[in-house]
Amino acid sequence: METLINNLIASGLFGAKPSFDVVAAIVEFVAGAVVFLVVAMPFAGVVTWLERRVWARIQSRVGPNRVGPQGFLQWLADGLKNICKEDLIPAEADAPLFKLAPYLVMLAFILPWSVMPFSSSLILADLNVGVLFFTSVTALTVVGVLMAGWASNDKWSLIGGIRSAAQIVSYEIPAGLSIFPVVLMTGTLSMQGIIQAQGWAPQHWFVFANPFTFIAANVLFVSALAEGNRTPFDLPEAESELVAGFATEYSGMRYTFFFMAEWGNLFLIGALMTTLFLGGWRFPHVSDNVVVMNILELITFNVKVLAVVFVSMWIRGTLPRVRIDQLMTLCWKYLVPISFADMIGTAVWVAIWPDGNAFMGYLMFAGGLAVLAVFVRRVVYYVRRSRMELYFRPGI
Amino acid sequence: MSTLRTEEMTLNMGPQHPSTHGVLRFVIRADGEVMREAVPDVGYLHRSIEKIAEKVGYHGFMPYTDRVDYVCAMFTNQGWAMASERLAGIEVPRRGEYCRVIAAELNRIASHLISVGTMGMDIGAMTPFTHALREREMINDLIEELCGARLTFNYMRIGGVAWDLPPGWREKALAYLDHFDPILDEYNSLISYNKIYVERLANVGVITPEEAISYNLVGPNLRACGIKWDLRKDIPYSVYPDFEFDVPVGEGRWGTLGDSMDRYMVRIMEMKESSRILRQALQNLPSGPVLAKVPRNFKPPKGECQVRIESARGDMGWYVVSDGTGYPWRVHVRTGSFAAMGIVQKLSRGLMIADLVTLIASLDVIAPEIDR
Amino acid sequence: MEPLAIYQRLKERFGDRVLEISDSKLDPFCVVDPAAIVEVATALRDDPETAMDCLSNQSGVDYKDRIEVVYHFFSYRLRHGAVLKVKLPRDNPSVHTLEHVWKSANWMEREIFDLLGVTFEGHSDLRRILMPEDWPGYPLRKDFVEPLEYHGISTVRESPIIRLDTRKK
């Protein structure tokens, strides 16, 4: 990407006569935009479908299962329906801002895809500030949401927008701070660089590298949920309090944009977690064929991302919503100090073992397995105690 | 340091709002997220049921009573039937009373399930709501078999109930209770002891016992303040003296006595007690007729009376004045939700907007019951 | 205490301001002078023998020649109740509020004001509660005639059966 921009400037983009390079660059831009849309939208759509199915199962419902196999194309039908709907703009609303807001939110959702490391070769731009770029463009959401809240000229929307601004700005801090341990250990901000510093095996993932990174991973996950307006931090669109929060006055495609961005953000949360802590696309070297390897890596990456997405859906299906003061308390009194301490702890750790501590990796991985075992035992206990008839019919 | 100058904002919550449980309206004066006051504005569901009673006669009014409180219509049925019976001095056959109690207690569980389910939904947890409604659907199926309706039952008649239990219904109901009791534990472990849930409800909307009596709160709202008062136990009616059950009261285990969490927990515990009553009633069902002989042209003698029954939303008072004709001269229903709404304005001061939602949900207010 | 004993006690204390004691089989009641309702009610609440801590129900009845406001008191402590009535003239009925004695009176009095047109003196917030602010008349009065329309909205509905008949012709 940077070479491209250098080329552009060198070839006289701002000069009098557009050269062949400029035309090529414009074509490349347009193609990139199309690829973005073609790639990013289905991911958001699939996440929508997955969320509705998973959520339905948690709630002992069936969920969408009519459009396409297992309702897989439901998101497409919904999108089409929403495009056909009337785009209402309230008479009292600030029309230009009102129209602009969904695009900003959408922009904040689309841009991070340019640094998304799907596999060792499938990355649009491996920026040397990749992680920084990722977190900073996702924070653009707050502008769009606040704009939507203000321009709707509706008090419920305004409260939603302001809640969102307060929430995203606050949670940026722990989120940013908990990225630092990884950066300290790898010495790079590039997405690919961070992934390459990890191994394919779980004990080589950064989440198990040392106790501090483990905490950082959890803090980052919580903060990312809050930034993505997910339950239990979905205050900006708390449907039982604020009707639909900042999106109250929106309809049709603009409304869809907000929600596509929200569900897309879910994928982004998963991607960030996977890249930083869960080993990214790393897969054991089984073939010398680059194409085969890339496909395997792509699958690995997506499976990991969807696993994280599943956890956040699970949380949404389980937890109630916190109140705004509890939200702020959690951020400023707990997460911020924890992530600061965490950063210092990692710095000390790196100073003592600059190349990491392999024993710690194995130990923490074993600890993780033990926690998982306890959890499974507990689930089995509860299922037995409540004497529920269990159905395992994924294909209803 | 000079204090930050803030401006009060007037918010209109309702009549169309997802968490007002029907058509309620609040005019909120708020400073940011903190409310100065929320003034309830009721009446959007006023259907002049009391006036209708004066026009349709005693038997004819029975279907209308369903609409007073459609979430627990059995109790409004029972209240009207008992008031008419008391005016005319009619004795209900024993089996009829048992049928009434069975139907009413099933309905109480259904109503409390709605209450605790929507409580979770108002706090943002959707799953408990669907789980609660799943159980309620089964009760609805049972009641549908009993009287053909799922919401507005019109099951009871002056002098008894319309139909006896269908064959095989008793076993089905007992099987349902066996299924329901562990579900309640599952529900508790799903949401009731959730940290976020308790934090949201504890110490919110605290009502002292004195206030509760002065504002005439009834039912679970009153018991949550620590007052052990249940009409089924203290002024027994129907066949309730036959059954053994406890009256759960609020203990303030999670916060202050009389907060939203207490009101919620009292409802959860009441479902258990209802299930106990149901078991006893179904097992000791006497035989005999279910409907006393009541003239079609029902004309109670001149007089007036008040009947109080323990509905799912508490003490429901039916005040009926008869002038000796086939039409009641005046009917007045004193309902639990009406009293509970009266205290909202006082409790709302200083709460956050998100807490108003949980407060209304914890008071278990049903809009048609306020407006009638 | 039995209701009749309570009324006797009131009679002893307030003399001829307690106008009438009915010993009806169902719910015996006692009629008091409207001017004395606050005193009687406060006495009922504060007397340790009666201790009526709750105003359980308050309603109004239109008897064509008079309007009665009915109070159902209840004592949670002693578990007994009493029924008090005041008789008011039909034009400009007015009685003093009990809002400062029991808080629950606030809304119930608003409802009686709304539906029967009884004015409660000293009430802090006497507005219509169920009907719209600009509704004409008091619906629970026996001579109330429903207006045919309200702000251009018709209050009567065509019978669907009649409409079918006209369509056939």
Interface size A-B, in CB pairs within 8 Å, comes to 90
In order along its 169 residues, chain C shows pLDDT tens digits of 787 788 888 788 888 777 788 877 788 888 888 888 888 888 888 888 888 888 888 888 888 888 888 988 888 888 888 888 888 888 888 888 888 888 888 888 888 888 888 888 888 888 888 888 888 888 888 888 888 888 888 877 777 666 665 655 5
For residue C122, give Cα distances in angstroms to A11, A149, C41, C97, C107. Answer: 87, 44, 15, 6, 14
CA distance A317 to A312: 9
Q: Which of C26, C76, C132 shows the shortest C-beta gap to B227?
A: C76
Residues in chain A: 396
The reply to whether A325 touches chain B by the CB within 8 Å rule is: yes
Residue A114 · residue A125 · CB < 8 Å: yes
The reply to whether C22 touches chain B by the CB within 8 Å rule is: no
CA distance B238 to B101: 8
CA distance B330 to B50: 7
Interface size B-C, in CB pairs within 8 Å, comes to 85
Cβ separation of B189 and A319 shorter than 8 Å?
Answer: no
Cβ separation of C57 and B304 shorter than 8 Å?
Answer: no
Neighbours of B2 (CB within 10 A): 4
Residue A247 · residue A258 · CB < 8 Å: yes
C3-154: what CATH class?
alpha beta
- In A, minimum Cα distance to B353 occurs at A241
| DSSP per-residue string spanning A339-382 | HHHHHHHHHHHHHH-TT--HHHHHHHHHHHHHHHHHHHHHHHHH
For the ranges A36-40, A225-229, B50-54, which has the lowest average pLDDT? A36-40
CA distance A161 to A333: 23
Q: How far is A321 from chain B (nearest CA, A)?
A: 5
Q: Omega into B289 within 30° of 0, i.e. cis?
A: no
Amino acid code (one letter) for C8:
Q
The reply to whether B87 touches chain C by the CB within 8 Å rule is: yes
- Hey, what are A86's tokens? 């009337």
Q: Is A150 left (phi over 0), alpha (psi -120 to 50) or beta?
A: alpha
Does chain C touch chain A (at least 3 C-beta pairs within 8 Å)?
no
- Please report how the helices A252-277 and A141-151 are oriented relative to each other, as an axis angle in degrees rounded to 10: 160
- Residue B258 pLDDT greater than 70, yes or no: yes
Q: Which of C56, C70, C132 shows the shortest C-beta gap to B216?
A: C56
Closest to B263 measured CA to CA, from B309, B217, B195: B217
Q: Which of B124, B130, B191 shows the shortest C-beta gap to A232?
A: B124
- In B, minimum Cα distance to A241 occurs at B354
- Hey, what are B260's tokens? 């939203």
- Kindly report, residue by residue over B264-316, the tens digit of the pLDDT: 889 998 998 899 899 998 888 888 888 888 888 888 888 888 888 888 888 88
- Residue B1 pLDDT greater than 60, yes or no: no
Residue B251 · residue B283 · CB < 8 Å: no
Q: Which of B11, B124, B130 shows the shortest C-beta gap to A238?
A: B124
Amino acid code (one letter) for B245:
F
The neighbours of chain B, by the rule of 3 or more Cβ pairs under 8 Å, are A, C
Using pLDDT thresholds of 50, 70 and 90, give the confidence band for residue A337. Answer: very high
3-state helix, strand, coil in chain A (%, to 5): 70, 0, 30
Residue C101 · residue C38 · CB < 8 Å: yes
Q: Across all residues in chain A, what is the average pLDDT? A: 82
Closest to A50 measured CA to CA, from A238, A274, A239, A314: A314
Residue A195: beta bridge partners?
none
CA distance A191 to A177: 17
- In C, minimum Cα distance to B330 occurs at C61
Averaged over B341-367, what is the pLDDT? Answer: 86
The reply to whether A322 touches chain B by the CB within 8 Å rule is: yes
- Kindly report, residue by residue over B11-57, the tens digit of the pLDDT: 888 787 776 677 888 888 888 788 888 888 888 888 888 888 888 88
pTM for the whole structure = 0.86
> At A82, which helix (H) or strand (E)?
helix A74-84
- Kindly report, residue by residue over A181-195, the tens digit of the pLDDT: 888 888 888 888 888
> What pLDDT shows up at residue A2?
63
Averaged over B77-81, what is the pLDDT? Answer: 90
Residue ranges and CATH numbers for the domains of chain B are: 49-362 (1.10.645.10)
The neighbours of chain C, by the rule of 3 or more Cβ pairs under 8 Å, are B
For residue B329, give Cα distances in angstroms to A244, B303, C57, C109. Answer: 47, 10, 18, 20
- Kindly report, residue by residue over A284-302, the tens digit of the pLDDT: 888 888 888 888 888 888 8
Closest to B335 measured CA to CA, from B299, B359, B357, B309: B309
CA distance B165 to B283: 13
Residue C136 · residue C114 · CB < 8 Å: no
CA distance B205 to B364: 13
SS3 C86: strand
Place of tokens 């709750």: C54
Amino acid code (one letter) for B303:
G
- In C, minimum Cα distance to B88 occurs at C26
User: Nearest 5°: phi and psi at B8?
Assistant: -75, 145
Give domain limits for chain C: 3-154
Amino acid code (one letter) for B340:
A
The reply to whether A90 touches chain B by the CB within 8 Å rule is: no
- Please report how the helices A358-386 and B169-187 are oriented relative to each other, as an axis angle in degrees rounded to 10: 160
HSE (side-chain half, CA atoms, 13 Å) at B83: 32
SS3 A128: coil
- In B, minimum Cα distance to A239 occurs at B18
- Hey, what are A157's tokens? 């929307």
Residue B134 · residue B141 · CB < 8 Å: no
Neighbours of A28 (CB within 10 A): 14
CA distance A161 to B7: 18
Averaged over A138-153, what is the pLDDT? Answer: 86
